[in-house]
Structure 1
C-alpha cells in the first residue's frame, strides 16, 4: 500500500488535526507510544522515513483517545477502516495503547 502525494498530505493534516482534538500533549504521545520526537514528527507528516505501521498506530491511538473523551475524530479519508483491512496484509499493525490522562 503506497500513498500518492495528495493522500500523504491529507493524512498528515488529519493526524495533526486529530492530535489537537485528542487534547493530549506531544510529550504524552511520545511516552505512550515510545516514540522519539523525530519519529513522531516523521509519522505526523507521513514522511518518507515514516514506518507505515507507526502511521496506523498513531491513527488508532488518536482515534481511541478522541472517542474515549466522548468526541468524534476528524474523518479519516485515507486511513479508513476498509483501508485497515488491506493494510493488515502488508504491515504488522500493532494495537494502540490507551492514552493516559494527566491527573
Structure 2
C-alpha cells in the first residue's frame, strides 16, 4: 500500500489535528511508541521514507488517545477501515500502546 503525495499530505494534516486534540506532546507520543524524535517526525509528516507499519500504529495511537482524553477524533480519510484490510495483506501491523493519562 503506497500513498501518493496528496494522500500523504491529507494524512499528515489528520495526524496534526488528532495530536492537538489528544493534548499530548510529541515527546509523550515518541515515548509511548518507542520512536526517536526523528522517526516520529517522519511518521507525523507521512514522509515517503516513513515505515507504513509506523504510520498505522501512530494512527491507532492518536485515535485512541483522543478518545481517552474525552475528545472526538478527526476522521481519517485515507487510513480508514477498508484501507486497513488491504494493509494487513501487505504488512504485519502492530497494536498501538495507550497513553496513561494522569489526573492532576
Settle same-fold status: TM greater than 0.5: yes
Deviations 1:64-87 (A, max 9, x none): 111122221111000001111111
Measured in 2, the distance between the counterparts of 1:100 and 1:51 equals: 25
Measured in 1, the distance between the counterparts of 2:76 and 2:52 equals: 15
Q: Is the 8 A contact 2:23 2:69 kept in 1?
A: no
Measured in 1, the distance between the counterparts of 2:100 and 2:35 equals: 15
Tell me the TM-score normalised to structure 1 length. Answer: 0.94
* Secondary structure of the corresponding residue to residue 74 of structure 1: coil
Partner of 1:11: 11
Q: Which runs of 5+ in 2 are unaligned?
A: none
- 2:60 matched to 1:63? no
Following superposition, the deviation at residue 25 of structure 1 comes to: 1.2
Q: Which runs of 5+ in 1 are unaligned?
A: none
Which structure 2 residues correspond to residues 15-26 of structure 1 after superposition, within 5 A? 15-26=15-26
Q: Is the 8 A contact 1:32 1:100 kept in 2?
A: no
Name the count of aligned residue pairs.
Answer: 103
Tell me the TM-score normalised to structure 2 length. Answer: 0.93
